[in-house]
Structure 1
Amino acid sequence: MFATKDILSVWRKFDHFPMETLTKAWYFQKNSGKKQREVAQMKEHREQYGITGNCFDLALWLLHEFEKEGIEAYPIGHDMGTEDAHVAVIAKNEEGHRYYCDLGDQWLNPVLVDADSEDYTEERLKGLFPAAEIQVQSAGDLFTVLYHRPNGKTSKQVFNLTPVKMDDFWLAAEICQNAIHKSPLLECRIPYKNETAHWEFYDWQSFLSTTEGLFNDPEAESIEQWCVRIHQKTGYDTNFLYEALNIYKKM
């Protein structure tokens, strides 16, 4: 179920890339033209401020890196053209088997979604998603993901594997980058004991999800305290964080 070495070699480049909307709000204020950044500009911003972006940014960047390595890949998504859009990437190995690659939801590894592959399984698996066991059920171009949490709860998502045309993808990306929600969001993968856990900052609260359960952080009393905390988790430039968080605070 885990991806082949060629796909993983590209995926591993993004291990320390958070998914966040801070960059979206910051760039929205900075730029009067198109809001969806090109990959070259994302790389410049990463070099300057340590920042990444939201699911559209990460999918575009991942597609770019797959193309550089000669790996066939394409975008997929749901609710395209709305504020609720979510996108990911399908990459194919040399045999043509498809792997679901989702940096937006901070997966730990891509997962095989072709039921006709000899490596496919519908058993519960560890090591694919932070603080949860994953179970995949595929049927043609639809596949279902079951997230089994440590507290016994199970959630479900259904994805369509049909490729999204790049023109449609860029259009949906532009719509998404123009929609600034009032609550900032940042998710990242961080080491915790013998696992990779999931840290989330949302609506001025933060918490860590682990296989041992969920741990809430103490409340931060100021923008400055949030800047320090987020910087410690991500390495993001503190001046950038102060500017981006103040944009949300004024909303």
Structure 2
Amino acid sequence: MKAPNEILSVWNQFNSFPMETLTKVWYFEKGGSQKQRDVSLMKEHYEQFGITGNCFDLAIWLLDEFKQAGVKAYSIGHDLHTPEAHVGVIAVCEKGNRYLCDLGDQWIQPILIDCEDENFRNDRMTGYFPAADVQIEQREKDILVHYYRPNGKVSRQTYDTTPIESNILLQAAEFSQNHIKQHPLLECRIPYKNEIAHFEFYNFESFLSTSEGKFYDEPLHTIEEWATRISEKTGYDAGFVLEALSIYQKLR
């Protein structure tokens, strides 16, 4: 079920990349009329502040890296041109097998989605998604992912594997970057004991999801304290985080 090296070598470049909306609100205030950044600008901001972006930023950046590496890849998603939009990437190996690559949801690594392949398994697997086992069920045009949490909760997500045309992706990305939600969100993968756990910051609360359960952090009372905590978790420039959180604070 694991991707071959040709895909992993690209994916692994993004192992420390959070998914977040701090960059989104910051660039909405700082940028020009076009709100979706191109890859060169994303790389520039990464060098300056250590920042990444939301699921559209990550998908566009990942697609570009696959292209540079000579790996066929395309974007997939749902609810495009709405505030609930989400996008990921399908990468295709030299054998023709497809692998789901979803940085927006902070998967640990890509996963095979073609049930015809001899390596495909339909049982529960660990090591692909933080703090949960996953099970892949392939359908005609989509795949269904089952997530099994430590507390016994099971959730499901459907991925439509129909390729999104590049111009449609950019239009949907521009729509997303122009629609700011009230509460800030940041998710990142963090080493925890012998696993990769999931840290989430949302609406000025944060917690860590692990195979042992969910652990909430102590509440903080100032955006300066939050900027420090987020910077320590992500490596983001603390000044950038404080500036982005200040913008969100005005929206509350």
Q: Per the shorter chain, which TM-score range?
A: over 0.9
Residue in 2 aligned with 1:62? Answer: 62
- The answer to whether residue 143 in structure 2 is matched with residue 143 in structure 1 is yes
Residue in 2 aligned with 1:208? Answer: 208
Q: How does 1:1-251 map to 2 (within 5 A)?
A: 1-251=1-251
CA distance in 2, matches of 1:191, 1:199: 10
CA distance in 2, matches of 1:109, 1:140: 24
Q: How far off is 1:32 after superposition?
A: 2.6
Q: Which amino acid aligns with 2:175?
A: I
Partner secondary structure for residue 173 of structure 2: helix
Q: Which amino acid aligns with 1:76?
A: I
CA distance in 2, matches of 1:37, 1:140: 34
Q: Which amino acid aligns with 2:30?
A: K
Q: Which amino acid aligns with 1:43?
A: K
CA distance in 2, matches of 1:199, 1:51: 16
Q: Which amino acid aligns with 2:109?
A: N
Partner secondary structure for residue 36 of structure 2: coil
Identity %: 56
Partner secondary structure for residue 63 of structure 1: helix
Q: How far off is 1:139 after superposition?
A: 1.8
TM-score, structure 1 as length reference: 0.99
Partner secondary structure for residue 147 of structure 1: strand
Q: Which amino acid aligns with 1:191?
A: P
Q: How far off is 1:115 after superposition?
A: 1.1
CA distance in 2, matches of 1:104, 1:245: 20
Q: How many residues align?
A: 251
Which whole-Å deviations, capped at 9, do the CAs of 1:5-29 have from their partners, x for residues lacking one? 1100100000000000000000000
Partner secondary structure for residue 90 of structure 2: strand
Partner secondary structure for residue 107 of structure 2: coil
Partner secondary structure for residue 80 of structure 1: coil
| Deviation >3 Å, runs of 4+ | none
Q: Which amino acid aligns with 1:14?
A: F
